[in-house]
């Protein structure tokens, strides 16, 4: 009971910090930061698009680590962590693929182009879709967890490729925003940093709750199996 109370308090504190940070980020994006001179108001989607991609990378990094630990130990907690993070990463990657074309249409004149970064991000989305499908539809749970762990490890190789795509190939994406030629002023950089912090906290909050749900679901299955075995013995 004491542990439960501590978990509730820590989650509540995280939510409070998330609320304050996300409110500050929204204020900075829609009120404080100046409108970009070339692209106009549509450029403000940048403060959502980049943090969404950042969180997707974090999520798939946790899938990578969780998958390695699961294959080494066969401990279900690591599979729950990896699977939960993959689900959230898929949501954020989907939002990246939605916000990108919304930004691209008025700037590039097209909704989609097979730009290197867009293509590798789309590939990343499909890899982790495969991860979730293998995990969900495997006839044997432990076997499905092992197969999906392998996919989670191999699939992570695409993350640095996505991140470095604008360096490795000639793409329509701009220079890295943190570079000298990135063009971010002080207020824009501040807004981006706060948005990154807000979305990172959002990911942490969602991950904690998703892992808790997965743990509870495993416990319910265990109790049902135990009850079924008792009924069979009886």
Give me the pLDDT at residue 179, please.
Answer: 46
Which are the contacts of 151, defined by CB distance < 8 A and separation ≥ 6? Answer: 127, 130, 131, 134
Is the confidence at residue 154, as pLDDT, over 70?
yes
Give me the pLDDT at residue 185, please.
Answer: 74
CA distances from 136 to 8, 67, 132, 204, 223 (A): 29, 15, 6, 23, 21
Three-state DSSP at 40 gives strand
Question: What digits encode the pLDDT tens for the residues 102-129?
Answer: 888 887 788 888 888 888 999 999 999 9
Question: What digits encode the pLDDT tens for the residues 82-91?
Answer: 999 999 999 9
Which are the contacts of 141, defined by CB distance < 8 A and separation ≥ 6? Answer: none
Kindly report which listed range (11-20, 53-62, 164-173) carries the lowest average pLDDT score. Answer: 164-173
Is the confidence at residue 233, as pLDDT, over 80?
no
Question: What digits encode the pLDDT tens for the residues 181-220?
Answer: 456 778 899 999 999 999 999 999 999 999 988 888 878 8
Is the confidence at residue 161, as pLDDT, over 80?
yes
Give the residue from 159, 142, 145, 149 showing the smallest Cα distance to 60: 159
Confidence at 3, pLDDT banded by 50, 70, 90? very low
Task: List residues bridging with 40 in a β-sheet.
Answer: 36
Q: Show the DSSP H helices in the chain as ranges.
A: 2-27, 46-73, 76-108, 116-137, 141-155, 158-168, 186-233
124, burial (CB in 10 Å: exposed 0-12, middle 13-18, buried 19+): buried
Q: 17-233 maps to which CATH number?
A: 1.20.120
Q: Where are the domains of the chain?
A: 17-233
Mean pLDDT over each residue of the chain, to the nearest integer: 85
How far, in Å, CA of 43 to CA of 41, rounded? 5
């Amino acid at each position: 009971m004491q542990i439960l109370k501590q978990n509730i308090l820590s989650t509540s504190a995280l939510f409070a910090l998330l609320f304050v940070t996300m409110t500050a980020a929204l204020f900075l994006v829609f009120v404080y930061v100046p409108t970009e001179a070339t692209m106009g108001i549509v450029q403000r989607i940048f403060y959502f698009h980049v943090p969404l991609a950042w969180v997707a990378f974090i999520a798939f990094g946790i899938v990578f680590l969780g998958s390695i630990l699961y294959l080494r130990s066969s401990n279900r907690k690591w599979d729950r962590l990896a699977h939960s993070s993959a689900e959230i990463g898929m949501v954020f990657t989907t939002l990246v693929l939605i916000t990108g074309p919304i930004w691209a249409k008025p700037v590039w004149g097209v909704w989609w182009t097979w730009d290197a970064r867009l293509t590798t991000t789309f590939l990343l989305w499909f890899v982790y879709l495969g991860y979730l499908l293998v995990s969900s539809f495997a006839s044997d749970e432990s076997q499905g967890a092992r197969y999906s762990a392998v996919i989670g490890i191999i699939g992570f190789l695409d993350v640095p490729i996505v991140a470095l795509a604008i360096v490795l190939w000639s793409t329509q994406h701009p220079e890295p925003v943190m570079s000298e030629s990135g063009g971010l002023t002080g207020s824009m950089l501040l807004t981006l940093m706060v948005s990154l912090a807000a979305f990172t906290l959002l990911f942490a909050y969602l991950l904690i709750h998703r892992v808790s749900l997965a743990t509870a679901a495993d416990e319910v299955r265990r109790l049902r199996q135990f009850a079924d075995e008792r009924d069979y013995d009886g």
